[in-house]
Amino acid sequence: MDTVRARLDLAYDGTFFHGWAAQPGLRTVEGELVRALSLIARQEVAVTVAGRTDAGVHADHQVAHVDLPAQVWDSLPGRSSRTPEDALVDRLASLLTRAHGDFMKAHGLVSPRGYCDVALLSSHRVPETFDARFSAVGRHYVYRLLDQRADSDPFSGRRIWTVPARQTLNLEAMAEAASSVIGEHDFLSFCKPREGATTIRTLRQLDVVAAGETSPILVRVHADAFCHSMVRSLVGALIDVGTGRRSPAWMRHLLDERSREAAAPLAPAHGLTLAHVDYPPADQWAQRAQQTRAVRSLGCC
| Cβ(276)–Cβ(208) below 8 Å | no
CA dist 86 and 223 (Å) reads 32
Contact indicator for 64, 132 with CB cutoff of 8 Å: yes
Using alpha carbons, select from 61, 63, 57, 22 the residue that is nearest to residue 231. 57
Q: Give the CA diameter of the chain.
A: 65
List, in sequence order, every residue forming a beta bridge with 207; answer none if it has no partner: 220
CA separation for the pair 147, 247 (Å, rounded): 19
Measure the N-to-C terminal CA separation of the chain; round to a whole number of Å: 32
141 is in an annotated binding site: yes
Distance in angstroms (rounded) separating the CA atoms of residues 199 and 130: 25
Contact (CB, 8 A) for 120 and 85: no
Active site residue 54: yes
Residue 57, judged by CB atoms within 10 A of its CB (0-12, 13-18, 19+), counts as buried
| CB-based contact 295:79 (threshold 8 Å) | no
Catalytic: which of 2, 9, 13, 54? 54
Instruction: Answer whether 139's CB lies under 8 Å from 50's CB.
Output: yes
DSSP at 228: T
Instruction: Compute the C-alpha angle 95/98/103, nearest 5°.
Output: 125
Residues annotated as part of the active site = 54
**Known binding-site positions for substrate:** 141
**Known binding-site positions:** 141
